Structure 1
Amino acid sequence: MNLRQNINYSIWCDFIERDFLENEFKTLISDGIIHGATSNPAIFENSITNSPAYKNDISSMQHLSQKEIYEALAIKDIKRAAEILLPLYEKDSNDGFISIEVDPTLCDDMMGTIEEGVRLFKTIDMPNVMIKVPATIAGYGAMRELTSMGINVNATLIFTPNQAIECAKALDIGIKKSTHSPKAVISVFVSRFDRACDELCQTKGLETAKLGIINATKCYHEVEKFANSNIRTLFASTGVKGDDLPKSYYIDTLIYPNSINTAPLDTIKAFISTGKKQETKLLSLQECDTYLKLLNDNGIDIEAVSQQLLSDGLGAFKVSFAQMLNKLKN
């Protein structure tokens, strides 16, 4: 079954590094395994500070500020990824995208996010770049304005159905205002719910490794209600920690029509070798709500967990960003 053709389902790679782009990345694309890519501050921190591929560029830019060095490195990589992915985008504009995230310290600054998003998009100057914006109050306004200007957006750090709805509302308005038909994805984080709640579920005799899937499925239903073909749900945070689950678990269980899964390299490789290659049976909204009520009845406050995960996610990206900037000056 060709999942991409039959149900508009794609796998994107949640990783970017300069040497990887010129080698394995191209192979994964030519083999028809991945059809896009994503990045975030933590990925860039790992790549820029650990790969020797950036050493010479960093040394030659010591006269610049830390953020200027970072942006020069990130823009170079994102532009190159966009060039490699461009044939996919030109063939099918639903795919072939690469995302770059705005400075995570701007998460509560709508105008700052808009200004940086516009600047990054214009500087990279590729049609298949998405500007990644966190799903905060300020972020919703930024998503709306960026898409209204024809800029593709990746709404990120979605943990609740309400966040998914607010993102979809903002993106739907912005896309319909634009004359350029921009594309958007709504990135729902999956596995972090299970890592946060599995131990508690186990003590209450409830099934583990299920909440992330149920919550993500409910978010997916809410996005699909908007019936905007330019907006797709993207399942993120789909790597497995430990050996209790199959490595491709969070891909196998979320193969839904009109969706994307962005996964780490080892997860993608596990999916290729052992994963399921057919559409997943879609749980109904009623089934999702029944399960979430069961957790609530057992004293598990999903809203509180969601808020903590969002706070932790925003905080982790800020820390990664700061740590990376600190390492860019000799």
Structure 2
Amino acid sequence: MVDQQIGFSLWLDFIERDHLQKEFGRMIEEGIINGATSNPSIFAASIETSPAYTAQLDTLQNHSAKAKYEALAKEDIRTAAKKLKPLYDAGNDGFVSIEVDPFLCDDTEATIEEGRRLYREIGMENVMIKVPATEAGYEAMKQLMSEGQHVNATLIFSPMQALKCLEAMQEGLKIYQASGTKSVRGVLSVFVSRFDRLLDASLLERGIEPGRVGIMNAAKIYNLVESKQNPSIRTLFASTGVKGDAYSADYYIKELMAPHSVNTAPLATIEAFVENPDHRTKLPIDDAAIEAFFARVENSGIDMSEVYDSLLQEGLKAFKEAFATLLAHLE
């Protein structure tokens, strides 16, 4: 649940048309969420399995697969944005994000053009354009923010990625604020649980507590973001769903409770948190403690630079594969 006293926001990492028309509004009204996020995998799962899209698809038979996808996605994002707009107008987040085509992750100009177009065609001010944290993406983030668009930098695994996103966003904001009038926001989506799914077994063999690498890495990036003291840019903790029963379903919400932050989580994760909420802050964690933890991890033989690169490549690949499967389904 949202906690405005400490500046903690909870966004729903799920978009599906029936849910938008039914439960989504209730979750907003009850103060459970104050934003939403989407990605290619989420849309693929929704569009491929839900009958709620059949009627609109029947009107799009002569369109390309990508045009069909965009028509469906823009309608859903516009619906979510309208329901969230009162929060946005009140200064209580109210954002919903849509990601650019994952196959554009290495093309700066195409990312900028698609981000502009999606923002314009959806026609809602409270939409965030989601851009992967790649070399091409950093310049796109800067340009879009300089034009007054809210940006969600996604697929962040390493502190170096986070730093490059921060620099790009700050430069874009500086350009916009010189002449722009509205308040522009940026979030850095730091992926969390994938670290632990990858490393837990190896850490147990080495006598190191599992379930902490994702949290400590997120804490390190959170400290980096907060050190810049920019109220317009926040850390967003993503990939916070738990697979399996190693941890409680809301583990990555409670362990990352922090001022001036966002946690975007799947529906089941949020439901578990609502059943037993705990708003005691867990961050910040002292930098020295974080460095000591990672020194122990590195000394055990785990190369974090390799882990960062592996997880980024896996993430990019997963989004591309989900998008390709969705387009094939829509052909």
Matches within 5 A, 1:45-124: 45-92=44-91, 95-124=93-122
> How much has 1:191 moved relative to structure 2?
0.3
Distance 2:43 2:283 in 1: 35
> How much has 1:99 moved relative to structure 2?
0.2
Give 3-state SS (helix, strand or coil) of 1:327's partner: helix
Distance 2:96 2:38 in 1: 8
Q: Give the counterpart of 1:301 among 275, 282, 303.
A: 303
Contact 2:157 2:312 in 1 (8 A): yes
> How much has 1:276 moved relative to structure 2?
1.7
> How much has 1:281 moved relative to structure 2?
4.6
Q: How many residues align?
A: 327
Give 3-state SS (helix, strand or coil) of 2:151's partner: strand
Matches within 5 A, 1:207-246: 207-246=209-248
Structure 1, unaligned runs of 5 or more: none
RMSD across aligned C-alpha pairs, in angstroms?
1.0
Give 3-state SS (helix, strand or coil) of 2:110's partner: helix
Matches within 5 A, 1:250-289: 250-289=252-291
Distance 2:224 2:112 in 1: 25
> How much has 1:279 moved relative to structure 2?
1.8
Distance 1:287 1:50 in 2: 45
Residue 162 in structure 1 maps to residue 160 in structure 2: yes
Distance 2:283 2:192 in 1: 17
Distance 2:41 2:109 in 1: 24
Per-residue CA distance 1:270-320 (angstroms, 9 max, x = gap): 001124222225211111111011100110111101100000000000000
Per-residue CA distance 1:94-135 (angstroms, 9 max, x = gap): 510000000000000000000000000001111100000000
Give the corresponding residue for 1:320. Answer: 322
Distance 1:190 1:275 in 2: 20
User: Relative to structure 1, is the Cα distance of residues 317 and 3 closer, same or farther in structure 2, using a 3 angstrom cutoff?
Assistant: closer
Give 3-state SS (helix, strand or coil) of 2:93's partner: coil
Per-residue CA distance 1:168-199 (angstroms, 9 max, x = gap): 11001101111143111000000000000000
Contact 2:236 2:263 in 1 (8 A): yes
Contact 2:2 2:31 in 1 (8 A): no
Moved segments of 4+, more than 4 Å:
none
> How much has 1:3 moved relative to structure 2?
5.9
TM-score by length of 2: 0.97
> How much has 1:60 moved relative to structure 2?
1.8
Structure 2, unaligned runs of 5 or more: none
Distance 1:312 1:241 in 2: 17
Contact 2:107 2:136 in 1 (8 A): yes
Contact 1:3 1:279 in 2 (8 A): no
Q: Percent identity?
A: 51
Q: Give the counterpart of 2:170 among 158, 167, 172.
A: 172
Give 3-state SS (helix, strand or coil) of 2:234's partner: strand
Q: Give the counterpart of 2:250 among 228, 248, 251.
A: 248
Code of the residue aligned with 1:52 in structure 2: it is P
Per-residue CA distance 1:240-273 (angstroms, 9 max, x = gap): 1111111100000001110000000000000011
Contact 2:225 2:235 in 1 (8 A): yes
TM-score by length of 1: 0.97
Code of the residue aligned with 2:84 in structure 1: it is L
Per-residue CA distance 1:41-79 (angstroms, 9 max, x = gap): 000000011000001211221101111000000000000
User: Relative to structure 1, is the Cα distance of residues 17 and 290 closer, same or farther in structure 2, using a 3 angstrom cutoff?
Assistant: same
Q: Give the counterpart of 1:192 among 173, 191, 194.
A: 194
